[in-house]
Amino acid sequence: MQAHGHYLGSVTLVGAGPGDPDLLTVKAHRKIQQASFIVYDNLVSEEIRDLFPQQAKKVFVGKAKGAHSATQQQINDILLQSALDGNDVCRVKGGDAFVFGRGAEEMLMLAKNGIAVDVIPGITAASGCTSYANIPLTHRGLAQGCTFITAHADKKLDINWSALAQLKQTLVLYMGLSKTDMLMDKLVDGGLCANTPIAFIENGCTIKQRIILGTLHQLTSLKRHHQIQSPALIVVGEVVAVAEQMDWLSQLSHRQLSKTECPQSLQLTA
């Protein structure tokens, strides 16, 4: 595309998934490999960053709670100016750009300024991390639906907690680690049983993944006891019990395997 004789670049919003580079789509991987200008977020894992071409210009615009390296306006300016300068920009975001990733804001801003935008979907943390933790988002008899919620808002968090509590669905809470007291109180006050199973999934879909299981009334105490750090996802619902069952079955299988591998005399005395 040209404007007044000057070549305009474009921007591709690439969803990089929740961390494991093997979860990149073929299209996302190809776009990253071909990129000459990459703008990437804090939630893009080290393993995926290792796939960035060595010759590509890389601009880090990660945001973490209380430690923003760039405001959203600055990120918008970087994307727009880079495209106006004729670069075909690869904007790499953790998860999916359209699920709590502000990708739509960036897309609309660029489109308003005449920049061509393409979007490559990625696996969002809610589906990727729960799958790696053996927690189904839906399960017959336990949850007929799921709801994704962000606990972060620029101004006021406008959520009907009573309605959420009565859905009898799986709730997946993004960016809720610093607000566990509030989440616990709102959901219990809204009618959700305090003994509802919950799971923290820390650093999901990476080699550092950690899964902490418990119940809703333990939300803050578990966070403090296990010193859970961001990025972490909170899953609330009866489906968490499936992960507990899988863990039990895994241990049972391991014990049975150990017995079959033992000498006959040891089996008889076990």
Provide the annotated active-site residues.
Answer: 41, 63
Beta carbons of 216 and 187 less than 8 angstroms apart: yes
Q: How far is CA 246 from CA 115, 199, 232, in A?
A: 48, 14, 21
Task: Name the residue among 102, 54, 61 with its Cα closest to residue 82.
Answer: 61
Q: How many CA atoms lie within 13 A of 270 on its CB side?
A: 13
Q: What angle do CA 162, 166, 172 make, to 5 degrees?
A: 85
**Greatest Cα-to-Cα distance within the chain, rounded to the nearest angstrom:** 87
Name the 3-class secondary structure at 131. helix
Task: Name the residue among 153, 98, 122, 96 with its Cα closest to residue 26.
Answer: 122
Report the C-alpha dihedral over residues 125, 212, 224, 209, rounded to 10 degrees. -50
Paired with 15 in beta bridges are: 93
Structure-token pair, residue 176: 């809720």
CA–chain centroid gap for 259, Å, is 40
